[in-house]
A = this chain, B = another copy of it.
Amino acid sequence: MARPREFDTTVALDQAMQVFWSKGYEATSLSDLTAAMGLSKSSLYETFGCKHDLFMSSIEHYKRTVSDQVVAAAEIDAPARRVIASLFDRAIERILSDEGRRGCFLNNCASEVAIHDDVAGRAVRDGLGLIEAAFFKLVKRGQVEGHINEERDARATARFLTAAINGMLLIGKANPERETLRDIADTALLPLN
């Protein structure tokens, strides 16, 4: 009956997300998107709607990806405190790789559009909530395991860790130096004592 889609929608969405992630919303043109996704404007509009719709879908796609990774990390069979430390370590390595310098997509979105774009802002807040939830779980577990100070409020600590890792990613964009990032990560873990 119909000509079948020659492209994988999820793959295309991922490619769109990569572009938004690297360039930001405003600086991304439809040409950038169609080039990266390998389809024409008409197909893009047919499948994903307008630029802003696609942007929102990209955020949701990122949230899915991140939440998968973060849930996976939270379930790693190692002391929770170690897992938290390794999340910071991994973030450092990512910043120092060329690809990682673009930081966290949610972070970028919060910075660029969260104030002016309520819809995107809410999606970003939800996404950050996923990260906070993962940290919360880990902090709780770490307290049970005895490696994290039980006097700390787990919610407050999780919120802090979310802010700290995002702050580190941000600093890393302007100043991708291992020593600086190491200092930030090491100090950020002190409140766990």
Contact = CB atoms under 8 A, between A and B. Distances in A.
Contacts of A162: 167, 171
Interface in A129-157: 152-153, 155-157
A27 interface: yes
A110 B110 CA distance: 13
Interface residues of A, number: 48
A108 interface: yes
A26 interface: yes
A56 to B, nearest CB: 15
Contact of A166 (B108, B153, B157, B171): B171
A36 interface: no
B108 A174 contact: no
A170 B167 contact: yes
B101 A187 contact: no
A156 B102 contact: no
A190 interface: yes
25 contacts: A22-B115, A24-B112, A26-B26, A26-B27, A102-B115, A107-B111, A108-B111, A110-B170, A110-B171, A111-B170, A112-B112, A121-B173, A125-B175, A128-B175, A156-B183, A159-B187, A160-B187, A163-B171, A164-B164, A164-B167, A164-B188, A166-B167, A190-B190, A190-B191, A191-B191
